[in-house]
Amino acid sequence: MDFKESRSYHTQIGQENMSKEDFNMDFKESERSNDKYIFAEETEQVVTKEMIKELWSSDLRKIEESLGDRIKKRRYLGTFVLLALSAILGSIITIAAMYFYLPEMINQNEFKTEEIQIDLEQNINTNVFTAVARKAMPSVVGITTIIEDRNLFMLEQNRGGLGTGVIVDDRGYILTNSHVISDGDVDKINVILHEGKIIEAEVVWQDRILDLAVIKVDAINLPVAELGNSDLLEVGEIAIAIGNPLGLHFDRTLTQGVISGLNRVIPISSTETMDNLIQTDASINPGNSGGPLLNARGQVIGINTAKIKGGEGLGFAIPINIAKPIVSQIIEHGSFERVLLGVRAVDVAVFEQVTGKDVEVSKGVYIIEVVENTSADLAGLRNDDIIIKMGGRETNTMQQLIRNLFTYKHGDEVELVIVRNNKEKVIVVEFIE
């Protein structure tokens, strides 16, 4: 129904001749009128102002609630997006700042760290091996020997040997093992210095029982090793060996371990032993012989001499205090002369085995004869006396007695404890020339 036709059905309510423009009058304008009723187009229903207001208010509330929910959701979404963008932007700015400014800050010492200094004396195990190598290595030398021989066809055939030594005086005196130079029975000895220079050497002194020797090269101002005190050693101390194991391809090899034992005795033949030795688990191999055994201060405490075949970590060295008086006398006088006690003697065990007699003690040195006008004779020693101690050290064998004599020089005095007629007696001996 169009607008014109609908007018015939309209009822006049408060106003006559109401036009379409009047119907479209704004609600607020109708509120300002004093009429109680308004006309509703295209309906036969008459509504009051209160009904329209109520409906209008209800619709407004629903619209507002719907719009409010949408606005809130959009606000939450906007806030979340804004926060996310802020976080991303902040991270980018931070990374960029670190990239551009961190190196400069470090260079300007903005981050300060405390430098730790290693004190070798307080942290003796930290860099001790490097420190010892730097100190002692220049004084360690290689030793090669040549023995001229002839074969069955009378053709010349040379035999060579290899060992190690240590410089004990800057004028060219070198300490090594006697067996390295074949107990002096060699035709030529060459010494290889730390810088590689090869110099021919000569034998100054050697002793097979001690297994020590001193050779000399014609050179001066050589680096000298520092000698320590082997009497102060304790089991468990650091031990470092330097030598030429298995040939010059491994020259000046350093191996490390500890002092495993003291006063060790090892057999060197069916009738001979070496005693008072230092035992170490620092690796000692053929070619190491004659090289130094060092403590944590780089001091020579022994001369490496032997290892037990078939055993690992069983190396032995001669205490440096045995060699010290020999070295000192050679450096001072150019030669060494061992003091003599002036007796002919044998081990107690050998005497009992040969004679079939029982002796009142099981160990010691049995004096068979005292030589006239010797140190022993002047001190009052007699035949059949048994020496059991010299200078406070046990003297169980003839070899121990001889080794003890190397620690004395002419003019020194020593106390001997002997057994005479089943009684112990102390006799003071002065070593005369």
**Domain presence at residue 385:** yes
Q: Residue 242 pLDDT > 50, yes or no? A: yes
> What confidence tier does 88 reach under pLDDT thresholds 50, 70, 90?
confident
* Cβ atoms 365, 350 nearer than 8 A: no
Predicted pLDDT of residue 49: 52
Q: Which of 32, 47, 62 is the last residue of a domain?
A: 47
Q: In terms of Cα–Cα distance, which of 206, 156, 149 is closest to 181?
A: 206
Distance CA 315, CA 301 (A): 14
Selecting among 211, 251, 347, 385, the annotated active-site residue is: 211
Whole-number CA gyration radius for the chain: 54
Distance CA 24, CA 19 (A): 9
* Cβ atoms 318, 353 nearer than 8 A: no
> What confidence tier does 386 reach under pLDDT thresholds 50, 70, 90?
very high
Distance CA 261, CA 275 (A): 12
Residues 28-85 have pLDDT tens digits of 444 444 443 333 433 444 445 555 555 545 555 555 555 555 555 555 566 666 666 6
Domain that holds residue 24: 3-47
- Confirm whether 211 is a catalytic residue: yes
Selecting among 289, 347, 375, 385, the annotated active-site residue is: 289
Q: In terms of Cα–Cα distance, which of 406, 413, 407, 404 is closest to 432?
A: 413
Q: What is the CATH number of the domain that holds 208?
A: 2.40.10.120
**Domain presence at residue 62:** no
Based on the structure, what is the number of domains in the chain? 3
Q: Per the structure block, which two tokens stand in for 178? A: 């006697």
Q: Per the structure block, which two tokens stand in for 372? A: 């006239």
Q: In terms of Cα–Cα distance, which of 405, 428, 280, 408 is closest to 345?
A: 405
Q: What is the CATH number of the domain that holds 426?
A: 2.30.42.10
- Confirm whether 10 is a catalytic residue: no
**Domain presence at residue 397:** yes
Q: In terms of Cα–Cα distance, which of 270, 301, 304 is closest to 285?
A: 304
255 shares its domain with 360: no
206 shares its domain with 154: yes
pTM of the model: 0.64
Selecting among 139, 179, 230, 260, the annotated active-site residue is: 179
- Confirm whether 289 is a catalytic residue: yes
Predicted pLDDT of residue 334: 86
Question: Whole-number mean pLDDT of the chain?
Answer: 78
